[in-house]
A and B are shown apart, each in its own frame.
Chain A
């Protein structure tokens, strides 16, 4: 799959922002006044910034509001609803904390649940696609949720929770890569089933339909950079999990905490790039490609 920057920025930043909102909604850290304002401002900047970025790849962003209509079947529509509801509930909760010195815990709890639901619905947009075996796995939502919660705990300064959550996310990441590498082969789809000619012998793509490229090849058959995938995996793993955990284990220091967040963000962004760049769509088979 083509790793569009808009989608990588969106899933990375929004995941982190909504993760932070989960912790703020549950009252960790228990902030109020201007400190609360700063925390909520960061969370909203990440969550809303990510959502804005996601509209950049649309052919007609001015019609994006229509995406709220099909929540009965579409995960993308459900994601839109969850995000808006999370931001509304958390906004009211923040209003109480920042300006009225009131803690409306129920609003925070509802907001936290919708924040989690937003991350889950985002992950389901990818998980539902049978056409991309590497995404069509139970581990995909687990990965999105574990990353979001680990990042949220890190941003919320909840060191004691952040370390185990980072370790869980690291484990999920390893499992996701291991299982994902076999997903296409074990999906049972090959050029034989794609053409229906598999029972007659081995099928080979002899001639493509056209000499140039097309939308399908640009969007679904992205092979550039796959050769560095192994190195990028190591880099992303070290940045997202190893360094932040080490920095958290050291005696607390604001510089270390900031470095841990920056490192985690860069690592998750790299992992997300791989999530798209390594994903293989079955339509590539028709072109004799993966």
Chain B
């Protein structure tokens, strides 16, 4: 049913550190790699080797420039995938019950055999987290790698979402955000984790850690610089006489 659960036992989700993300897009590739050959329909590409390639992705990395009122602009890489909202509008709009939020862990999933591909859930999502697969005609979205995180056939270290496992910078964290004592919850509390578009009332589970303040640039960057200043600016002695004489000519 597309009625949202009043509460979930756990709130599994991601914490994304905007201070650490280097914008390498490795999470995008590993997400596509894992999810195109596991849970549900593959993530198709159209015209992959042609002039206008396009395809289904569950995770994409944007880059933004923030220009403060004073000081230097800052470049911030910004991975974005499903935020597994507590008040997920994509679930309640679904006419068939294909979209649902799990009571046990809060993961928002699509039952692809019930999806009619009407696209209304993608319309209702402010974050662009859902994409209608052009080959399969069903809605695709981040599953939080539901087929990895409980998979006992995988070594324990791999039982996290593919994007988290891959991130070379350690900018992605996975855990239970409903448990105030979990590592991810502590991280959010320490770093002032934030919601995207809180005014939409979706109550996202995933949190973003804001970039730490940049170091301030002091007047003197290099302590050796004063020692490297030119020593003799006015020529003296024979050269000084020569300089003056030549000026007079």
Q: Which residues of A contact B (CB under 8 A)?
A: 1, 57-61, 63-64, 66-70, 72-77, 80, 125, 128-132, 187-189, 191, 193-197, 200-210, 212-216, 219-220, 281-283, 286-287
| Also in contact, A66 and B96, with CB within 8 A (given A60-B116, A193-B199, A214-B54) | yes
Complex Cα–Cα for A197 and B119 (A): 29
Q: How far is the CB of A197 from chain B (nearest CB, A)?
A: 5
Most buried by A among B67, B75, B201: B67
Q: Does residue B174 face the partner (Cβ distance < 8 Å to A)?
A: no
| Also in contact, A209 and B28, with CB within 8 A (given A58-B117, A63-B96, A63-B114) | yes
* 26 A-B pairs whose Cβ atoms sit less than 8 Å apart in the complex: A60-B138, A64-B116, A66-B97, A67-B116, A69-B97, A70-B1, A73-B1, A74-B93, A75-B93, A128-B124, A130-B124, A131-B126, A189-B200, A193-B197, A195-B196, A196-B194, A196-B208, A201-B69, A201-B73, A201-B74, A204-B64, A206-B64, A210-B60, A214-B57, A282-B197, A287-B62
Contact A72 B1 (CB under 8 A): yes
Task: Determine the residue in chain A with the shortest Cβ distance to B18.
Answer: A197
Contact A215 B132 (CB under 8 A): yes
B residues in contact with A67, CB < 8 Å: 95-96, 116, 118
B residues in contact with A73, CB < 8 Å: 1-3, 91-94
Complex Cα–Cα for A188 and B200 (A): 10
A residues in contact with B197, CB < 8 Å: 189, 193-194, 282
Q: How far is the CB of A155 from chain B (nearest CB, A)?
A: 29
Q: Does residue B175 face the partner (Cβ distance < 8 Å to A)?
A: no
Number of chain B residues whose Cβ lies closer than 8 Å to a Cβ of chain A: 71
Q: Does residue B137 face the partner (Cβ distance < 8 Å to A)?
A: yes
A residues in contact with B65, CB < 8 Å: 203-204, 206
Contact A209 B60 (CB under 8 A): yes
B residues in contact with A193, CB < 8 Å: 196-199
Contact A282 B1 (CB under 8 A): no
Q: How far is the CB of B179 from chain A (nearest CB, A)?
A: 23
Contact B63 A206 (CB under 8 A): yes
B residues in contact with A76, CB < 8 Å: 93, 95, 118, 120
B residues in contact with A195, CB < 8 Å: 64, 76, 78, 196
| Chain B, range 146-184, C-beta contacts under 8 Å to A | none
B residues in contact with A188, CB < 8 Å: 199
Task: Determine the residue in chain A with the shortest Cβ distance to B91.
Answer: A73
Q: How far is the CB of B26 from chain A (nearest CB, A)?
A: 13
Of A187, A202, A212, A215, the residue contacting B53 (CB under 8 A) is A212
Q: Does residue B103 face the partner (Cβ distance < 8 Å to A)?
A: no
Q: How far is the CB of B167 from chain A (nearest CB, A)?
A: 16
| Also in contact, A58 and B208, with CB within 8 A (given A130-B201, A193-B198) | no
Q: How far is the CB of A32 from chain B (nearest CB, A)?
A: 37
Task: Determine the residue in chain A with the shortest Cβ distance to B193.
Answer: A196
Of B3, B63, B68, B120, the residue contacting A72 (CB under 8 A) is B3
Contact B52 A212 (CB under 8 A): yes
Complex Cα–Cα for A215 and B23 (A): 22
Q: How far is the CB of B240 from chain A (nearest CB, A)?
A: 53
Task: Determine the residue in chain A with the shortest Cβ distance to B209.
Answer: A196
Q: Does residue B89 face the partner (Cβ distance < 8 Å to A)?
A: yes
A residues in contact with B119, CB < 8 Å: 57, 59, 219
Q: How far is the CB of A148 from chain B (nearest CB, A)?
A: 21
Contact B94 A74 (CB under 8 A): yes
Complex Cα–Cα for A16 and B60 (A): 42
Contact B56 A206 (CB under 8 A): no
Complex Cα–Cα for A271 and B183 (A): 53
Task: Determine the residue in chain B with the shortest Cβ distance to A67.
Answer: B95
Of B23, B64, B118, B126, the residue contacting A283 (CB under 8 A) is B126
Listed from nearest, the 10 A-B pairs whose CB atoms lie closest are A59-B117, A59-B137, A209-B60, A201-B68, A67-B95, A207-B63, A283-B128, A66-B96, A76-B95, A77-B95
B residues in contact with A63, CB < 8 Å: 96, 114-116
Of B54, B56, B95, B194, the residue contacting A70 (CB under 8 A) is B95
Q: Does residue B122 face the partner (Cβ distance < 8 Å to A)?
A: yes
Complex Cα–Cα for A107 and B208 (A): 56
B residues in contact with A61, CB < 8 Å: 116
Contact A283 B62 (CB under 8 A): no
B residues in contact with A204, CB < 8 Å: 64-67
| Also in contact, A129 and B64, with CB within 8 A (given A60-B117, A73-B2) | no
Of B53, B56, B74, B132, the residue contacting A59 (CB under 8 A) is B132
Q: Does residue B80 face the partner (Cβ distance < 8 Å to A)?
A: yes
Complex Cα–Cα for A202 and B128 (A): 22
Q: How far is the CB of B31 from chain A (nearest CB, A)?
A: 12
